[in-house]
Structure 1
Amino acid sequence: MKRCAFLSMDNLDDFEVYDELLYEPLKNRGWEVDEVSWRNEETDWDQYDAVIIRTPWDYQDAPKAFIEVLKDIDASSAILENSLDTVKWNIDKRYLQDLHRDGIEIVPTLWKDEFHKEQLPSFFDELETDEIVVKPTISAGADNTYWIKQKNQSEYLEELAEVFEDRPFLVQPFMQNIVEEGEFSVFFFGDTYSHTILKTPKTDDFRVQEEHGGRLNKVEPEKSLLTIARKTLNNITPLPLYTRADYVRTAKNSFALMELELIEPSLYFNMDPESPERFADVFDEWMNKRLTGTT
């Protein structure tokens, strides 16, 4: 029996997690799975054949420490997925600049190194909108993410100044289709398309995560969405074990990339009953090739 660690956090009681749906399919393929907190300093990573980053949903609180743990795993005999280089690239949302240069449409974005109160009014002018979203370039789960309207911007000045005093952040126009239609998440395991879900926020909110009241529905992706998702995947090197790409429909009926989730995305195995088996197939083939040195 081969051993695999699912890299997690100390306590997931406040989160919706579906990775347990993988345990039986992986066991049937000869894999024993342990859930291990990335903060457990006593873990011997050499005891595992593979370590898969799954639910360390507090890494944004200590990103440097998180990367150091991944370095330790990468230096062990275990295979780390997604890879250390992938995580280093994907952990800061400035990776969106790279994808944009490669021809992937993204939501218009201003990139800032620190916040100054006098800047706030200019954000609305530069983006030609009366509603904006401000969030850190390193964040997860909508932490420190603000939906600000031009008419009430003064209410946020002090908090923004405190949160982003020495922390890079980005500013985007609020995309109305997030609340009117929702955010599409497209999933790939390796280069195999798996499933697509539509996440919609609760009334008077913009956060689509379940923990914030977001609602989920499995959908069949439009051909244009699947095409741009595949194009996005083709711009990632090396190919990740798992990819979640989040898109919003624009006013021109195109799909703009919101986030490319390659570190610790929920893969929503609960939304597609065939997805656990699909992941297990890809994972087993992927790891066997790595372990035998055939790829």
Structure 2
Amino acid sequence: MKKCAFLSMDSLDGYECYDHLLFDPLAERGWSAEEVSWRNGQVDWNRFDVVLIRSPWDYQQDPQKFFRVLQEIDRSSAILENTLELVEWNIDKTYLRDLQQEGIEIVPSLWKDRFDSRDWDSFFSGLSAEEIIIKPTISAGAEDTFRLRKSEGEKYAEQLSGIFSRRPFIVQPFMPSVVSEGEFSLFYFGNTYSHTILKTPKKNDFRVQEEFGGQLQKIEAGEQLLATGRQILELIEPDPLYTRIDLVRTSNHAFALMELELIEPSLYFNMDSASPRRFAAVFDRWMR
């Protein structure tokens, strides 16, 4: 039996994780899988054939240490997926600028190295927005993410200064369709399209994650949505084993890229009963 480690965190209490649904389909193909915390400094990575980055959802608290762990895995005999090269590119949201330069429509964005309250008005004028979203360029799970109106600048100035005094962040217009329609997530295993879900926030919220009360719905993706996803997928180098593409509808009825998730995205195996075996089949071919 070949061994696969699912890189996780010390405890997943309070999180919704569905990777256990892969255990049986992988076992059927000769793979044993176990969850291993990235913070466990005693792990011999050489005892695994493959390490899949799956649910280390606290890595943003110490991204430098996290990356050092990935480098250690990469130096071992284990294969790291997705690759270290992809992680290095995808870990900072500035990757969105690279994709924009390749012709991908992204949610309009301003990039800042540190927060200065004197810039407040320019966030709104620069984006022609009534409401904005502010979040770190390295983040996960909507941590330190704010939805704000122009009138709230003085109220949040001290908090934003504390969080972003030495931490780069991104400013985007709040996209009303996130609330009115939801956020679309497309999943690919290798080059194989798997499934699509629509994530909607609970009432009076904008965060679509389950941990904040977001609702999930499996949908049949339309041609335009699939074409946008495929266009993005074909720009990713090297090829990823797993990809989640988060899109939101724009005012002109196109789809803008919200996030490209290549490190530790939930792949929502619970939303498509065929997806665990689909992943196991792609994974097994990939490793051969």
2:104 and 2:38 map into 1 onto residues whose CA distance is 33
Normalised TM-score (structure 1) = 0.97
**Cross-structure match for 2:203:** 203
Aligned to 2:104: 104
1:131 aligns to 2:116 (yes or no): no
Q: Would you say 1:30 and 2:15 are equivalent positions? A: no
* Per-residue Cα deviation, 1:176-219 (whole angstroms, up to 9, x for no partner): 00000000000000000000000000011000000000000000
- Per-residue CA deviations over 1:2-55 (Å, capped at 9, x if unaligned) read 000000000001100100000000000000011100000110000000000000
Distance in 2 between residues matched to 1:220 and 1:153, nearest whole Å: 41
Q: Distance in 1 between matches of 2:57 and 2:271?
A: 20
Distance 1:49 1:287 in 2: 9
Q: Return the alpha-carbon distance in structure 1 between the equivalents of residues 272 and 31 of structure 2.
A: 22
Instruction: Report how far residue 134 of structure 1 moved.
Output: 0.3
**In structure 2, C-alpha distance between the alignment counterparts of 1:27 and 1:159, rounded to whole Å:** 48
Q: How does 1:184-263 map to 2 (within 5 A)?
A: 184-263=184-263
Match of 1:292 in 2: none
1:274 equivalent to 2:274? Answer yes
Q: Deviations over 1:62-97 (max 9, x none)?
A: 000000000000000000000000000000000000
Equivalent residue runs for 1:57-96 within 5 Å: 57-96=57-96
Q: Please give the per-residue CA displacement for 1:119-149, whole angstroms capped at 9, x wherever unaligned.
A: 1111001111110000000000000000001
Secondary structure at 1:245 match in 2: strand
Counterpart-to-counterpart distance in 2, 1:10 and 1:152: 37
TM-score by length of 2: 0.99
Letter of the 1:33 counterpart = A
Q: Partner of 1:14 in structure 2?
A: 14
Partner of 2:4: 4
Which residue of structure 1 lines up, in the alignment, with residue 182 of structure 2?
182
SS at match of 1:283: helix
What is the aligned residue count? 288
Structure-to-structure mapping, 1:112-131, within 5 angstroms? 112-131=112-131
Aligned Cα root-mean-square deviation (Å): 0.5
**Partner Cα separation in structure 2 for residue 78 and residue 166 of structure 1:** 35
Letter aligned with residue 73 of structure 2: I
Q: Using the alignment, how far apart are the partners of 1:75 and 1:84 within structure 2?
A: 10
Question: Distance in 1 between the 2:199 and 2:109 partners?
Answer: 22
Letter in 2 for 1:272: D
The residue number in structure 2 matching 1:165 is 165
Which amino acid counterpart does residue 255 of structure 1 have in structure 2?
Answer: F
Q: Distance in 1 between matches of 2:107 and 2:256?
A: 6
1:249 counterpart letter in structure 2:
R
User: Identity over the aligned pairs, expressed in percent?
Assistant: 61
Q: Which runs of 5+ in 2 are unaligned?
A: none
Distance apart, 1:155 and its partner CA: 1.3
Question: Could you list the runs of 5+ residues in structure 1 that have no partner in the other structure?
Answer: 289-295
- Offset at 1:150? 1.6
Q: Provide the rounded CA distance (Å) in 1 between the counterparts of 2:231 and 2:69.
A: 31
